[in-house]
Structure 1
Amino acid sequence: MKIKATMERIPGGMMLIPLLLGAMLNTFAPDTGNYFGSFTKGMITGTVPILAVWFFCIGASIDLRATGTVLRKSGTLVLTKIAVAWLVAMIAASFIPDTGIQTGFFAGLSVLAIVSAMDMTNGGLYASLMNQYGTKEESGAFVLMSLESGPLMTMVILGSAGLASFEPHHFVGAVLPFLIGFTLGNLDHDLRAFFSKATATLIPFFGFALGNTINLGVIVDTGLLGIVLGVAVIVITGIPLILADKFIGGGNGTAGVAASSAAGAAVANPVIIAQINPSFQPVAASATALVAASVIVTAILVPIITALYARHIGKPEVYHPEPERYTQP
């Protein structure tokens, strides 16, 4: 059976399918983890420890020796994405109460949901699209996009926008596994190669655990709103990303379109942030469902829009990097 190949044909399938299975389990048999206990409960409820290991491995996979052009491209996209999410958070905070919107079409929408959906890019989807429609240096911009992974940037945005307060050690705790992995990966290339292999392997596991924090009834209740949020992520972040790519990053805008998605790992942010700051607990469930919906919507639409944009603009000249000046130990 070609299970893996079938899952990979679906955009983000290696995470989204386990996430959906976890959501189904949590919806129809929510006590499964408590019933079986032991390792089964650990896989069902282990969102935070699994993500902690994943962040560590992501950090270990990043090489400081990336070329200046790649760093310029990735830095432009990452900073633009974060800046847009921060600006949107400032505006949204003026209209949305701390407990989220409770009634009407926008019921369930919160600043936490908006920021979580907008401040991270689906790096794997971006790299795949750039391999097909961009250059090698644009594909390599995935390097710094990994820095967005995890709740740190969401915490920074919420804190700097005056929407929440976090103790300094909470910020350190959010980024420490990543920094340790990054340090070890750059001190020892063998460790980088060893830990990098786990980044893809862990995705289905934290996808399944994340799914077990979602009740499908919430997704049904927020279904159309989730689609609207996904489209809003593409439009609101995509336009500034296109402009930044063209006028700062030196591209033709295709990389900006490809970076306008919502990251699968962002689904975990509402739950993690609610654990750090309990004031977000009332909106965590609906925010998780909305972010999950936006991940699916952007995973489907961004490849289509990128292909149409690239066809209209024309594929840029293929980049040929200089030969490496070092040898692996």
Structure 2
Amino acid sequence: MATHYLDFEKPIADLEAKIEELSLLSSTAGSFDSEIEGLRKKAEQLRKKTYGQLDPWMKTQVARHPQRPHFVDYVDGLFTDFTELHGDRQFGDDQAIIGGLARFRGRPVVIMGHEKGHDTATRLTHNFGMARPEGYRKAVRLMDLAEQYALPVLTFVDTAGAYPGLGAEERGQAEAIARSTERGLTLGTPSIATITGEGGSGGAIAIAAASRVLMLEHSIYSVISPEGAAGILWRDGARAKDAAMAMKITGPDLIGLKIVDRLIEEPVGGAHADREAAITRVGDVLAEELEALSGLTPAQVRQARADRFYAIGRLEKGG
């Protein structure tokens, strides 16, 4: 797969293009090993420096990177015996949210997540990760199943928001999101939500009302997209960067507001730069968090989750 470079990565792209050019020349015009090694070190240093000082708009671009791992990649990398369950038993099957039963490091779990797709065909199949009401009703059905069999629930969030189309609204989009959020809050088994890319609006929180909310280092989580906020505030979607800078949508701010519980470090260059390492790191953190939640009674799980959400945005009195 050809590497996709973001706008702010142009200096890195130029260096790596030069490395590729010298590598090709080496086969016909002699060795350029020392020059290539020097350029590789320079590119790595530049990548580390660049990703060490990303602003919120840059992180928004990284969160949306087309080569970032998606839900199907986490399923392949972290779970075994995955059995997908389809449909909401009312209208149909929404492939923007995929879910089912699986084993995580030998432990049975229920998993679900937004899937955006990797190419034109799969993006259309999965509606770019924007779920319709039947997607959220499927999520409720999966959570009911998890509680019935006392299984933990692991969700993976990556969506710009719920689908706002006419058909979705006619079938009760807002009510479906509310029911899914409510079911997550009342679930009697431990649940962990991981924001893997873009967590947008109610479409995200509908499967992120969990016991623990984790977030990859360069992901974003917000009540509205920067473009949407810019359109409302200034009637100019081109000011999305200004909105992103003001919205507190990145990890450090969300940790401070107690909206997110833990950040998961990404490889240098983002999760798309080393997909296998990023997926493995997510798995290690999920294992730690699941272990911390094990042994709780259903009442304790519900109380701990309630306490967590009541604490969001709460200001502590000064000394």
Q: Which has the higher strand share?
A: 2
Q: Which has the higher helix share?
A: 1
Q: Rg bigger for which structure?
A: 2
TM-score band w.r.t. shorter chain: under 0.3
Normalising by structure 2, report the TM-score: 0.28
Normalising by structure 1, report the TM-score: 0.27
